[in-house]
Amino acid sequence: MTVWIALLRAVNLGRRNKVPMAALVERLAEAGLPGARTHLQSGNVLLRTDREIGPIIGEVLRTDFGLNEPVMVRSHARLREILAANPFPEAAAERPTLVRVVFLAEHPATERVKRLEEHDDVRVLDREVYIDYRTGVHGNPLNAAMVSRRLALHGTERNWATLSKLAELAETM
């Protein structure tokens, strides 16, 4: 069986889009995905299954929590590849909360990627956008929302520390 990591978009942002992780795990089990684990409250779900989990999680979010947001799903093997491909390894080691990856729902158009990569702090590899925020995230015009707009795709962002922990947790699934 495959270990999957599902990255939920736009959950538990302040008072908006509340999804209690314990309730989500319970609903996923009822929907045929037992054994889910979560990490933090930002919508990180780990599962071991051979089922296609994105549509099932999306349906649970819609029916039980009233959210209609995309779910980005990557296998544990793919997450390891993403971590290994980091174009900013020194920055990730020094500033793991300021190096982030935006996980896209689809592959971006080549012409949009070229324009986005004019920024020195951005690299697009496959369906992932690596960003080195260098001095800070808040107030930075280069951010996940801007990336999503420029690529015309939905995405969700995670910092390097969280991704490293998800890879570690996936090893124990």
Taking only the tens place, the pLDDT of each residue in 107-153 is 999 999 999 999 899 999 999 999 999 988 888 888 888 999 999 99
pTM (2 d.p.): 0.94
Given CATH 3.30.70.1280, say whether it is the number of domain 2-75.
Answer: yes
Cα–chain-centroid distance for residue 60?
A: 18
HSE on the CB side for 94, CA within 13 Å? 8
Which whole number is the average pLDDT over 154-173?
96
For 94-144, list the strands marked E by DSSP: 99-104, 122-125, 128-132
Q: Residue 29: pLDDT band by 50, 70, 90 thresholds?
A: very high
Closest by Cα among 11, 173, 170, 172 to 80: 170
pLDDT for res 112: 94
CA dist., res. 44 & res. 42, Å (int): 6
Taking only the tens place, the pLDDT of each residue in 44-91 is 999 999 999 999 999 999 999 999 989 999 999 999 999 999 999 999
Torsional sign, CA 7, 10, 15, 19: negative
CA dist., res. 96 & res. 38, Å (int): 20
Domain ranges of the chain: 2-75, 78-171
Cα–chain-centroid distance for residue 68?
A: 16
